[in-house]
Structure 1
Amino acid sequence: MYGAHQLARNVQLPELDRWDWGIPDAGPGIEALGDVSGLRVLDLGSGLGRHAAHLAALGADVTAVDASPAQHQRATTRYPNTPGLRLVCADAMAHLRDADPYDLIYSVGSMPYLDPDRLLPVLANGLKPGGRLVFSALHTNSHGTGPSAQVAPRPEILRLPGTTDDHPVDMWVLTPQLWEDLMLQHGLTMDSVTAIDSPKPDNHVSYRLYAAHRSDRVPSRPRRELGEEA
């Protein structure tokens, strides 16, 4: 839907001048990924591919995966022959099951659209031992509604750029404790959580940036029941 809308409107975005994780001019930038030169990297939910192309220019071997044919078309038109960048139109979980393991997997705001109970096991197996996962996730929406204390999707509103049309989407908007519990269940160790709040005082939107790494051993099934955060 989003990609088709942008494609129909022929929206042309500039190249990145500053990396952000969901809110422009707020929070950490590309430094959250560390040195990417020579790393095998996966961009999960890559959209137009600007972030992936930026990392490829820094010497990373980047695979950019998006399930939207329209977004994939926009990306391949924009980056037809970019060294170090491979654009793939595929379901993220199907790609991870078939791909060789990555040194680094990152996602700018896309992970909450996928069921974490299904995604995190394949993410863990899609990382090399010690490999890193860095992703941003919605924490508080524009109405000031905070994260859920249970692992279940809830309706959120996606507004298409340049319109006043609101489209409901299902998202997993979880507390940091739930994200950590889920990652531990599937062999990922949380390293840090960084708050990313809007700099505008009348804007309630906030994200959390999660950094984790794969443990040496990844369990084949969940180890324990999840706790809840009050």
Structure 2
Amino acid sequence: MSAVEVWERYASNSRPRRAVNAAGASTWLNWTQYPDHGPDESVLGDLAGRRVLELGSGSGANLAHLATLGGNCTGVDLAPSRTSTAVAEWGHLPGLEFVTADAVAYLAEKDEVFDVMYSIFGAVWFTDPAILLPAVRDRLRPGGVLAFSQLPATEAGVIAGPAVSKWNYPADQWEKMLADTGFTATASVIPGPADGEVGTLLVHATAV
């Protein structure tokens, strides 16, 4: 099974996002695996007029929220059905587009420079950082922001699968890899909302 087929199978089992969150908002950004928990889009800084790229945009809900805040937003996802869903749900918003592509290939073929890139349980988790991080740095302006979230590493290293692997590293290792690639970075685990619930690794990096 190819990586595209894996993500298409995942997409077929995904459920639509809630119409509104606990605050009654119809668009929002959520970094963690728990609804209404953790920081919001302020992690990314001021988005008005900024070029924003989401690596692994899924159904597009997080990116759509950033477009409502004035970002010029592009979402990249490997699964064609996810792109179709995102366009159908959010394609009417100005300053927002969705593309079916591999994240590394997309970055390699573009001349465009972005102000912000981010991934929420997305492509950063599932792509070799030795390949992805330099590609991101090449397309991020100096002072630009890269942020991503995923599950914390319980066992550091690569969890290999037949078509899709996960790169699980502790916070300090992500900080070092990012520093070696031309970023200043901080990484920490957001505790789960209740005792005993797994937290979320959140990494914030600035291109130097």
Distance 2:202 2:15 in 1: 27
Aligned pair in 2 of structure 1 residues 153, 102: CA closer, same or farther (>3 Å)? same
State, as a whole percentage, how many aligned pairs show the same letter: 32
Larger Rg: 1
Q: Give the TM-score taking structure 1 as reference length.
A: 0.76
Contact 1:72 1:89 (8 Å CA) reproduced: yes
Rounded Cα–Cα distance in structure 1 between residues aligned with 2:61 and 2:193: 24
Structure 1, unaligned stretches of length 5 or more?
Answer: 141-145, 157-166, 216-230
1:184 Cα shift? Answer: 1.4
Aligned to 1:33: 44
Residue 88 in structure 1 maps to residue 99 in structure 2? yes
* Contact 1:107-1:134 within 8 A present in 2 as well: yes
Q: 1:185-212, CA deviations, whole angstroms, 9 ceiling, x for partnerless residues?
A: 111111x323212123242x22211111
Give, in angstroms, the shift of residue 42 of structure 1.
0.3
Code of the residue aligned with 2:121 in structure 1: it is G
The 5 A counterparts of 1:61-76 are 61-76=72-87
Q: How many residues end up aligned between the 2 structures?
A: 194
Matched, 1:197 2:191: yes
Say whether residues 1:119 and 2:137 are aligned partners: no
Structure 1 contact 27–195 (Cα < 8 Å) conserved: no
Preserved CA contact (<8 Å) 2:57 2:77: yes
The within-5 A match list for 1:59-208 is 59-99=70-110, 100-110=112-122, 111-140=124-153, 146-148=154-156, 152-154=157-159, 170-190=165-185, 192-203=186-197, 205-208=198-201
Check whether the contact 2:184–2:206 (CA below 8 A) recurs between aligned residues.
yes
1:2 is displaced (CA, Å) by: 4.7
The gaps in structure 2 that reach 5 residues or longer are 1-5, 22-27
Is 1:21 aligned to residue 16 of structure 2?
no
> What is the distance in 1 between the residues matched to 2:115 and 2:88?
27
Residues 62 and 195 (structure 1 numbering): CA distance in 2 closer, same or farther, change over 3 Å?
same
Mapping of residues 35-54 of structure 1, within 5 Å: 35-54=46-65
**Which TM-score applies when normalising by structure 2?**
0.84
User: What is the root-mean-square deviation in Å for CA atoms of aligned residues?
Assistant: 2.3
Do 1:23 and 1:197's aligned partners in 2 also have CA atoms closer than 8 Å? no
Task: Report how far residue 3 of structure 1 moved.
Answer: 4.3
C-alpha separation in 2, matches of 1:123 and 1:15: 32
